[in-house]
Amino acid sequence: MLNDLKRQVCKANKELAAQGVVRFTWGNVSGFEPGMGLFVIKPSGVPYEELQPELMVVMSMDGQKVEGRLEPSVDSEIHRAIYMAWPFSVSAIAHTHSTYTIAFAQAGLPIPPMGTTHADYFGGTVPVTRAIEEKEMDEKYGENTGNLIVATAQDPERVPAVLVNRHGPFTWGKSPMEAVHNAVVLEQIAESCYLTRMLNPKIESMDDALLNCHFSRRKTNYGQKK
């Protein structure tokens, strides 16, 4: 079932490790098949170098495991909540624990657009969620976190990322590799933003006109990739 999507998801998960935005078994990628109401996600606790397409786990939109001998990622409920909210906008999700995006998330700070690299991929500030409340930390913790991501994102197609307060980044796209691509770019712009502010603490976000120029140019000329 969904063998092609399993291959895509497996390859994208391995790319997270290749790009250096995850360590050990941290992070995960999933892919969604809206016509079947199913998504494929990395199994929990398996090192990236040991991943194979047949180890990917197939999940339903009611949170049940449909196929796979291993357990799904502990973040599968977060992914499911996002797919439930945006079934026609999001086809894949990536989650990492990359250093600079984690720093912004732990600080409870959004990532503002400081330059054209940001604007090429994200058409505005990458937002951060509010802190999750104790009453939300029950058996629906993952689902509540996903719902918090959805509530925080203003336009999931224009800014395909949200930082979860005290947790880390979630990015998405039209394919598993695009979700990973956005995760790698997000780490780069987080690092650049941090260093820019270190050099000039008084600097403000880039001008909206320049941001919109680059974001529109990228979409027109390059699709979803620079």
| Catalytic annotation, residues | 120, 222
Q: Which two tokens stand for residue 204?
A: 């403000």
| Burial status of residue 134 (CB atoms within 10 A of its CB: 0-12, 13-18, 19 or more) | exposed
